[in-house]
Amino acid sequence: MSPHTYDSDATAMIVGVGLMGQYMARNVPFWLGLKKLVLVDHVSHINVGGINTALSDFAAEIASVSQTAVVAETVDVRSEDEVRTLFEKHQGIRYLQYTAGISPRPLTAPENLTREDVMGACEVNLWGAHNVLKQGINTGAFAQPRTHGVIITSTSATVGSEGRASAAYEESKGGLLNLLRLQSRYFTEKHGIVLNGLAPSPLRGPMAAQNEVSAGRLQSVEDMMPLGGLTDPSHIAAATMFFWANECWCVGEVLTTDGGYTKHRPIYGALDA
């Protein structure tokens, strides 16, 4: 018997239907007994297992094997008008996951980044999440008395520890980290939104393997993972379901889901008897 309970016959929204969003979309209708699932991405076609797939077709596939109404929406999270319209169409959101994020020019020295690189990352990674919260609140779309939201703060778990991994990405994600930590109590007290965050280490997907250098770094992460292997969507999904549970008593927490990768590594060698 699971120690966690959820609100059945509810509506969930996943913003960002990449590797993580797809895994959640395939499973949460069954885990939560959802009435409705809204899948939001900035493009009409997504990469599903290496196949260019219409977002609407992906949604229809999930609907065909579940009892859930699955809706696909193509929305630019940077646009106030588009996000406002999204929430005007879809009210009563009980569960929200924001996975949208971009990583311009990974493994580029900070002094070689352009203004467009940095501001572009901030527009999607930080402003996009802020905009989703803003429009959801202002349209009254979030279910009361409580909506559970999870925001992916970093798909590298390296904000503050590996600045060179992708400086523009991590600078924007650092701002998102502060949004969660500094504003979460306000959002709960004022608007009934329980926000928490996840900071996973890299997944083996399109974003973490944009080029040969990034792919090499991914292998290095895997080689140094204390728990062995790489983080995969099931690890992130399990953490999300904890934060979504009625029994979750966390507000503004960011759970590092990285198999111990970013934890302190002793430099003094083995402790021999």
Other CB atoms closer than 10 Å to residue 2's CB: what's the count? 9
Give me 81's structure tokens. Answer: 């008008």
- Looking at residue 60, its amino acid is A
Residue 32 has pLDDT above 60, yes or no: yes
For residue 203, CA distances in Å to 42, 189, 215, 231 come to 21, 34, 11, 6
157-214 pLDDT, tens digit per residue, is 444 445 455 788 888 998 999 999 999 999 999 999 999 999 888 776 665 555 566 6
Higher per-residue confidence, 253 vs 223: 253
- Choose between 84 and 162: higher pLDDT: 84
Between 204 and 7, name the one with better pLDDT: 7
What pLDDT does 164 receive? 53
The Cα–Cα gap between 52 and 11 comes to 27
User: Which amino acid makes up residue 174?
Assistant: G
CA–CA distance, 9 with 89 (Å, rounded to integer): 18
Beta strands in 140-271 (DSSP E): 147-152, 193-200, 254-257
What pLDDT, on the 0 to 100 scale, is given for residue 258?
A: 87
Quick one: pLDDT at residue 273? 58
Domain positions in the chain are 11-257
Contact 141, 132 (CB under 8 A): no
pLDDT of 267 above 80? no
Round to whole Å and give the CA distance between 152 and 172: 12
Q: Grade residue 2 by pLDDT with cuts at 50, 70 and 90.
A: confident
Average pLDDT, stretch 50-58? 96
Q: Which amino acid is at 256?
A: T
Nearest-angstrom CA–CA distance, 182 and 191: 15
Distances (CA, A) of 28 to 11, 21, 85: 11, 10, 24
**Diameter of the chain by CA atoms?**
66
Q: Where are the alpha helices (DSSP H) in 66-209?
A: 80-89, 115-122, 128-138, 167-191
Local structure of residue 77 (DSSP, 8 states) = T
Q: Find the helix packing angle between 55-64 and 19-32, rounded to 10°.
A: 30
Residue pLDDT, tens place only, 127-164: 999 999 999 999 999 999 999 999 988 755 444 445 45
Contacts of 253 (CB under 8 A, 6+ apart): 196, 197
Measured distance CA(118)–CA(273) in Å, rounded:
50
Q: CATH for 11-257?
A: 3.40.50.720
Please state which of the ranges 5-14, 99-108, 216-225, 254-263 shows the lowest mean pLDDT: 216-225
Distance set, CA 21 to CA 82, 110, 130, 185 (Å):
20, 29, 19, 26
d(CA 168, CA 189): 32
